Structure 1
Amino acid sequence: MAHPIPLKLIALQAGVSLATVDRVIKQRGGVQAATVRRVMQALDELQRQSTQVGLAGRKFLLDVCMVAPQRFSDAVRSALEAELPSLQPAVLRARLHLHETLEVDALVQLLERIRKNGSHGVLLKAPDVAPVSAAVDRLVAAGIPVVTLVTDLPASRRCSYVGIDNRAAGETAAYLLGQWLPRKKQQVLVTLSSNRFHGEEEREMGFRRALRERCRHLEIVEVSEGHGIDGATGVLVHQALARHADIGAVYSIGGGNGAIVQAFASAGRTCHAFIAHDLDSDNLALLHSGAVQAVLHHDLATDMRRACQELLRAQGALAPLSRPAARSAIVVVTPFNVPVQA
């Protein structure tokens, strides 16, 4: 019996040959385990995006490349898949390359593979380092537009950035902590997933600048390179609390917030104010429990729709905008104004 999704479509989605897909689907063996996983992932993606497959209209194949904690990548994937049908009559399919951590060389190899296999555009969340910017430039030179998500690559030839004004987000966090904390000398723990992400660096710069101007009584203790993963982030926070007795608040730029809360509890320390980013399932639970006082949120569905529209414009499928698109709105979410969709 014929497979409900054409094997040719699965092969294109997976970036492998038709013969390889046939062997995997019919379980004939002789295919490397990593390739089998790519084929099965492609099949899963096509089934999840089945509302788009087979519809009339010009078809586009996008690649979504993200280096981010799984909870955030899952939120982005759900938002993207929900928005794809709204882009009709264009028909967009997405190949997903989602990694919690990925060495720069491996990321560059991934982008090179996309360039060689072909794509109508790349949505990219990646560290702002020279080899990645160079790989983006090669994609663009090959006619594959790139839109950066959440964090930018300003030195690259990417066609646009979609996300919040990260510096303004940092300033907002500083303003809130300045209002909530008593005006006495104390320390604020600032956690980044990695200092190689431009967006996180911008948040930290905005936070520092606002503290210098408004809250000189607050001193920053920074930890980085936990990659937003609970285990690694928890170790770093435990170490920081052991070294600094005056930490009384947290601005979490990079995530791993459950581990941060647990580190304070294990050390018998009180966190008087905790501000986080992104309304994922972890942060929603922490917000309702009172462990986090506010989440700086932006609507991922709107971001995904804008990002896809930017790629369609770059492909000439939509008219160009008369002015640059506005940055995503920064919403301060408390337990009393959680968006309905959350």
Structure 2
Amino acid sequence: MAHRFLIKEIALQAGVGVATVDRVLNNRGAVREQTKKRIEQAIKELEKQELYSASAGRKLIVDVVVEAPDRFAEEIKDALEAELPTLQPAIFRPRFLMRETMTTPEVVEALRAIAQRGSHGVFLKARDVPEISDAIGDLKQRGIPVVTTFTDIPLSGRIAYAGLDNRVAGATAAYLLVHWVGDKTGNVLITMSDERFRGEEEREISFRRALRTRQPQLTLIDASGGHGLDETTEKLVQNVLRAKTDILAVYSMGGGNRAILRALEAQGKTPKCYIGHDLDRDNIKLLREGKIQAILYHELRQDMRAACQHIMHFHKMLPASAVSHSSSVVVVTPENIPDHIAARFR
């Protein structure tokens, strides 16, 4: 395996021992395939970091642990990497663990491994369950700060949350939907990837409360639990639609919008209003096609900048007054897709 980095640099990036890296690079001894892939990934990460790292500054190794569909995980990674050159005097060295689905034991194991090998901080997108909260507390005791990103675990030992105000997002979705559907009566389909993602749960609670106040005649139909993945989301929506004759509107909080629309179209249902979250490739195309009326967007780069600054503040490299606020909710229609986002998906 060709490389130009010191073995100890690769070992630090991969989170494994120097001897393990030596065995992989020189094809000596038995090493698990998963470990080999992690070392290959570490070299690629170092190559990319070399492009935007300054020659001087304090290096901060941060672990990015994300459970999310690949399309959103890539957006998070791109946003963080785009911010790295702006974070002087720190030089952030991210190590990524991103999977579409992770069991609670897998997340806990990943956080325990980070605690054992050491880190300057963790950016975490995971479910709000006691086991994960306890693992965050263990990291805190070891002096490793955790910033929850995009979905919060507020009763843990995390030092901050960086991401959208999900209560505002849910209320905004209700406001838009009511103005689109008027005084009509009907069913509103809602979907979350997993109710234990607190961010989505907060959106749902806020949306439900606002809709009950504004238009109590609307009935919410729930097809949650698909993890934002197309196949499972489509099946859940299909099951719900078998029992319902009409869908007036859709509020998709957890992604999988192509799958939701396929299930609706298969039964000849065209909602009057469809509201989703996040500007990935699929959602931009659906906006342009007129199949989604609005996307609730937040600037991921600003959120990742805030997350990094919280870590810098923890390590006394930045005053609290210099930490950026997380991004605000922006309503995006086919007419105002941000140029810098649209350019990436042309």
User: TM over 0.5, yes or no?
Assistant: yes
Q: Deviations over 1:137-175 (max 9, x none)?
A: 110110000101011111111100111110110010011
* Secondary structure of the corresponding residue to residue 74 of structure 1: helix
Worse overlay, 223-232 or 1-10: 1-10
Aligned AA (1:295): I
Deviations 1:34-58 (A, max 9, x none): 1101111111111122234572111
Q: Distance in 1 between matches of 2:136 and 2:67?
A: 15
CA, structure 1 residues 2+125, in 2 after alignment: closer, same or farther (shift >3 Å)?
A: closer
Is the Cα–Cα contact under 8 Å of residues 52 and 92 in structure 1 kept in the other structure?
no
Map Cα deviations across residues 100-149 of structure 1 (whole Å, 9 max, x no partner). 11110111011000000000000011100011111001101100001010
What's the counterpart of residue 8 of structure 2?
Answer: 8
> In structure 2, what is the Cα distance between the partners aligned to 1:262 and 1:28?
50
Mapped contact 2:191–2:222 kept (Cα < 8 A): yes
The question of whether the paired residues in 1 share the 8 Å contact of 2:13 and 2:95 is answered with: yes
Q: Secondary structure at the match of 2:8?
A: helix
Whether the 8 Å contact between 1:14 and 1:39 is mirrored in structure 2 is yes
Q: Is the partner of 1:122 in helix, strand or coil? A: strand
Q: Name 1:259's counterpart in structure 2.
A: 259
The aligned counterpart of 2:328 is: 329
Tell me the SS of whatever aligns to 1:105.
helix
1:96-175 aligned at under 5 Å gives the runs 96-175=96-175
1:297–1:332 CA contact under 8 A, matched in 2: yes
1:86 corresponding residue in structure 2: 86
8 Å CA contact 1:181–1:272 kept in 2: the answer is yes
Assess if the C-alpha contact under 8 Å between 2:65 and 2:97 holds in 1. yes
Is the partner of 1:143 in helix, strand or coil? Answer: coil
Contact 1:46 1:53 in 2 (8 A): no
Alpha carbons 1:83, 1:304 under 8 Å: kept: yes
Specify every segment of 5 or more residues in structure 2 that has no aligned partner in the other structure, as ranges. Answer: 342-346
Shift of 1:29: 5.3
Seen in structure 2, the aligned counterparts of structure 1 residues 2 and 268 have a Cα distance that, compared at 3 Å, is: closer
Match of 1:72 in 2: 72
- C-alpha distance in structure 2 between counterparts of 1:7 and 1:52, whole Å: 21
- Residue 240 of structure 2 aligns with an amino acid whose one-letter code is A
- Amino acid paired to 1:251: Y
Which residue of structure 1 aligns with residue 344 of structure 2? none
The residue matched to 1:154 in structure 2 has which SS? coil
Answer yes or no: is the 8 Å Cα contact 1:52–1:91 preserved in 2.
no
Question: Structure 1: how far apart are the matches of 2:24 and 2:304?
Answer: 32
1:238 is the counterpart of 2:238: yes
> Does 2:217 align with 1:217?
yes
Q: Distance in 1 between matches of 2:27 and 2:258?
A: 41
Deviates more, 1:208-217 or 1:71-80: 208-217
> Distance between the aligned counterparts of 1:40 and 1:289, measured in 2?
39
Q: Secondary structure at the match of 1:51?
A: helix
Contact 2:274 2:293 in 1 (8 A): yes
Aligned residues: 341
Contact in 1 for aligned 2:53/2:85 (Cα 8 Å): no
SS at match of 2:176: helix
Q: How big is the shift at 1:334? A: 0.4
Q: Which residue of 2 aligns with 1:185?
A: 185
